Amino acid sequence: MSEKHDQKEWDVIIIGGGIAGLTASIYLAKAGRRVVVLDKGASLGGRAMSNEIADSRVNMGGHALYKSALPILREVGVEPVGGTPKTSGSFVFKQADGRSKALPLGQLLLGSFLKWHEKTQLLRFYAKLRKIDTAALQKVSLQTYLESELGSPRVRSAVLALVRVATYCDAPHLLSAGAVVRQLAQAQVMYVDGGWQSLVDRLAEQARQAGVSFLTRSPVRTISGIAPRMTVALKDGTRLSARHVISTAGPKETLAMLDPALTPAESALYERLTPVRAACLDLVATGMPQSKTRFVLGADEPWYYSNHSAASALSDHPGREVIHVMKYLPVSEETDPAQDERELEGFLDLIQPGWRGHVVQRRFLPRMLVSHAVVEAASGGLSGRPGPAVAGRPGLFVAGDWVGDSGMLLNASLASAREAARCIIAGKDTVKEGMHRGA
């Protein structure tokens, strides 16, 4: 993957060859800019890489592509292929006797677990979702909003389970209600054939065709200067020059590279962000005991189970299935990874008794970074996130799932990558009104 380049002068240096970096590189190269993408890893893809496990392509934890991401992917020449998972599934609730029980969604609405008024609460909430004024709710916490809208704690638990799937975040007291409602309203997803690696491979192919150069195994130590004379120094001492730099590393990693550092007032915007993490148990299995159980969410516990092979082609081996099991981790405390793994095993014992005998290979990723930032009500919701232009450092831009006022997760990475590229193409070297937020 690593390519040697004698050229040390570039129009744009992009730090990070994940989906944000690759996307920005394609826009820029197609606009005629000389672009190099640097990544510290041995290969491209960042958190969107998939691994080969037991002849199957396994994402690092369950990844679902929001269909609202398709327009930008298509603009850069990538048409994802895959399937839409069925919306039917089950919720695990704690019973009055303290034991947990899985209830299919249909039974939740038709059976006797929820009272009549609880069923109508749930149905009314979903019926009005697309009509809610999300702008007015950006600064309201999800917890406050749900408590005012849904009187029943059991209905709130079911809705919060759906919020966790849509945001990967188990912090209703922090989350912006407006951002969450917007995310829930565009809930249609796709499981991608060949895993998200196939998105990475196609983006890399488009970038190469557009003339982008790549340097992998190239960790960046410092970013200095301002447009049009910026310097990026690698850990091995190599120095590269460019008119502009885009960093797609995380907020704190980006701050640590800046030489000189931003002022405390400028860096506060990046330092206050709260990361979102998940414990991921990835399985390649054959013929799970409950073959019809494909999608289960914990209502009272932050658990996720999904058979991704039910909707996408992931294995060369007939009969092998890729199953993702996850725990959405709390944002304000560190949990014990061994305990988290045992908890997920207990969840599997409940919904797939005897599952161990069907596992071909398993992998546990204890603290995966899902997103660099919760979209927080206290910071103003989506419009409170940092913009792509870095205040105090003309010529430096950032992109990623923590940047810009559009979308969450990958959608935010894509939108901010496009925005950063557009600013550079439009010659907006310095921060102007509206190009960064919250400072």
Supply the minimum distance, in Å, between the C-beta of residue 256 and ligand FAD: 8
Among 219, 240, 204, 261, smallest CA distance to 29 is for 204
Which two tokens mark 210? 């557009």
Using the minimum distance from each CB to ligand FAD, give the nearer residue, 63 or 154.
63
What is the spatial distance between Cα 404 and Cα 60, in angstroms, rounded to a whole number? 25
Supply the minimum distance, in Å, between the C-beta of residue 372 and ligand FAD: 8
Q: List the one residue from 10, 13, 14, 18 that touches ligand FAD (CB under 6 A).
A: 18
What is the spatial distance between Cα 314 and Cα 59, in angstroms, rounded to a whole number? 10
Residues 246-275 that bind ligand FAD (CB under 6 A): 248-249, 253
17 touches ligand FAD by CB under 6 A: yes
- Contacting range for ligand FAD; rule: CB under 6 A; set: 126-134, 171-179, 310-318, 404-412: 404-412
Supply the minimum distance, in Å, between the C-beta of residue 94 and ligand FAD: 25
Work out the burial of residue 127: count CB atoms within 10 Å of its CB; fewer than 13 is exposed, 13-18 middle, 19 or more buried: exposed
Total of residues contacting ligand FAD (CB under 6 A): 37
What is the spatial distance between Cα 126 and Cα 130, in angstroms, rounded to a whole number? 8
Using the minimum distance from each CB to ligand FAD, give the nearer residue, 93 or 328.
328
Query: Across-strand partners of 14?
Result: 37, 246
Residues 24-83 that bind ligand FAD (CB under 6 A): 38-41, 46-48, 60-64, 66
Query: Measured at the alpha carbon of residue 210, what is the angle toward residues 227 and 236, in degrees to the nearest 5?
Result: 55
Please identify which residue in the block is written with the tokens 């060369």. Answer: 316
Using the minimum distance from each CB to ligand FAD, give the nearer residue, 132 or 280.
280
219 touches ligand FAD by CB under 6 A: yes
Using the minimum distance from each CB to ligand FAD, give the nearer residue, 278 or 348.
278
Using the minimum distance from each CB to ligand FAD, give the nearer residue, 20 or 146.
20
Using the minimum distance from each CB to ligand FAD, give the nearer residue, 114 or 171.
171
Residues 355-374 that bind ligand FAD (CB under 6 A): 368-371
8 Å CB contact between 356 and 387: no
Which residues have a Cβ under 8 Å from the Cβ of 330 and sit 6 or more positions away? 170, 171
Among 409, 396, 400, 401, smallest CA distance to 435 is for 396
Which residues make up the interface to ligand FAD (CB under 6 A)?
A: 15-21, 38-41, 46-48, 60-64, 66, 219-220, 248-249, 253, 278, 280, 368-371, 400-401, 409-411, 413
